[in-house]
């Protein structure tokens, strides 16, 4: 993440998480990089006005299983494990999109935050 921000010409400042709210409040940093759920939970809307919706990084919880345990399963069970993982991934993605839509509305209505989207994102 740091290298990505540097490549954009920014000067990222890693800091202790516990200091982030105060740093935003006092203008020590200009912004922070967290998901919408974190912005809402940490009440960053009280100390920052803008959100830039970058879409440069997206993480889902991985399906992790012991390789030896997986290999010990018959082909049908292995297939079921992989299909369940694909289904869980799709569900997780949709849940996140739905949750973020609700949170975005609350950040705008409760804190008056402005959410900016990149106009040329599809060109990337």
- All structural domains of the chain, each given as residue ranges with its CATH number in brackets, are 2-123 (3.40.190.170)
pLDDT band for position 124 (cuts 50, 70, 90): low
Three-class DSSP category at 72 = coil
What pLDDT does 123 receive? Answer: 59
What pLDDT does 59 receive? Answer: 72
**How far, CA to CA in Å, does 13 sit from each of 18, 44, 99?**
14, 17, 28
Over residues 82-120, the pLDDT tens digits come to: 999 999 989 988 998 999 999 999 999 999 999 998 877
| Mean pLDDT, residues 67-90 taken together | 95
Q: Examine the pLDDT at 121 and tell me if it is beyond 70.
A: no
CA atoms within 13 A on the CB side of 84: 9
Share the mean pLDDT of the chain.
91
């Amino acid at each position: 993440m740091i290298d990505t921000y540097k490549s954009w010409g920014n000067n990222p400042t890693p800091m202790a998480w516990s200091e982030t709210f105060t740093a935003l409040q006092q203008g020590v940093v200009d912004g922070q990089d967290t998901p919408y759920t974190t912005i809402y939970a940490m009440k960053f809307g009280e100390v920052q006005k803008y959100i830039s919706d970058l879409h440069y990084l997206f993480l889902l919880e991985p399906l992790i299983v012991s390789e030896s345990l997986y290999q010990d399963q018959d082909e049908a069970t292995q297939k079921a494990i992989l299909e369940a993982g694909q289904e869980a991934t799709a569900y997780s993605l949709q849940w996140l999109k739905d949750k973020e839509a609700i949170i975005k509305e609350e950040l705008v209505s409760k804190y008056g935050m402005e959410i900016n989207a990149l106009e040329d994102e599809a060109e990337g």
